[in-house]
Amino acid sequence: MKVLVIGANGQIGTRLVHQLKEAGHTPKAMVRKKEQVSQFKSKGVDTVLGDLEEDFSHVYQGVDAVVFTAGSGGHTPKSQTKVIDRDGAIKAIDEAEKAGVSRFVMVSALKANRDSGMWSKSMRHYYEAKSKADNHLRNTDLDYTVLMPGRLTNEPGTGQVELSEYIEEIEGRTITRDDVAAVVTELIDRPVTFGKSLDLLQGEDSVKEAISGISQT
């Protein structure tokens, strides 16, 4: 598949682009700044400039699937979280529909679809933004997957995960960015994940086993 990665310059996005390529897919990296292009083009990755705050409809040309893994980052104002994580994500979903791209994977956040009482005051704006974008995606006819990883780390990937529509025990648990990228790479063309919202944490199953274990109903 030719997979558009929105937020390719991010920590998950960069890993995902390279893992998709290694798995035999054709990634298309969307980046916001010209100086970010060379790191992908130098490795033979199709790269396109696009800004979520402007018209980026051109980036969908020729793609089979979209992965949204852009984020405003932890050091930006709350207003920017709304611009990128909420409004940018919603625009990306709408543009996919207009372009006729049916497969859409949203990299969201664990707790985004849970009771707001679980959200800390400092993170409420973030979860609200993620939740609104996720719900917008769920209300489309796209073949979507909302992937909700827990607290992210930069440790080397283990290849061992827990992936489920609801994980009961989540406190204190983490997931590596490597493993998030691995899960996205594996589920991108797996119909069993269509129309699903999935929690993701480190666990005991291989990525393939975890995806195969998802209910088909």
Q: What is the pLDDT of residue 80?
A: 87
Does residue 162 carry a pLDDT above 70?
yes
If you average pLDDT over residues 85-110, what whole number do you get?
A: 97
Token digits of residue 30: 């969307």
Give the long-range contacts of residues 207-210, CB within 8 A, separation 24 or more. 207/159, 207/161, 207/163, 207/179, 207/182, 207/183, 210/161, 210/162, 210/163, 210/183
For 201-217, how does the pLDDT look when each residue is reduced to its tens digit (9 = 90+)? 999 999 999 999 998 75
Q: What is the mean pLDDT of residues 98-122?
A: 91
Q: For position 163, what pLDDT does the model report?
A: 97
* From 126, 127, 144, 166, the catalytic residue: 126
CA 133 to chain centre: 12
Strand partners, 104: 66, 144
Reply yes or no on whether 127 is catalytic: no
Question: Hey, what are 52's tokens?
Answer: 């979520």
pLDDT value of residue 118 = 80
pLDDT > 80? residue 72: no
- pTM reported for the whole predicted model: 0.95
Q: Hey, is 54 helix, strand or coil?
A: coil
CATH code linked to domain 2-150: 3.40.50.720
pLDDT in tens, 25-35: 999 999 999 99
CB 187 within 8 A of CB 146: no
Compute the average pLDDT of residues 117-124.
83
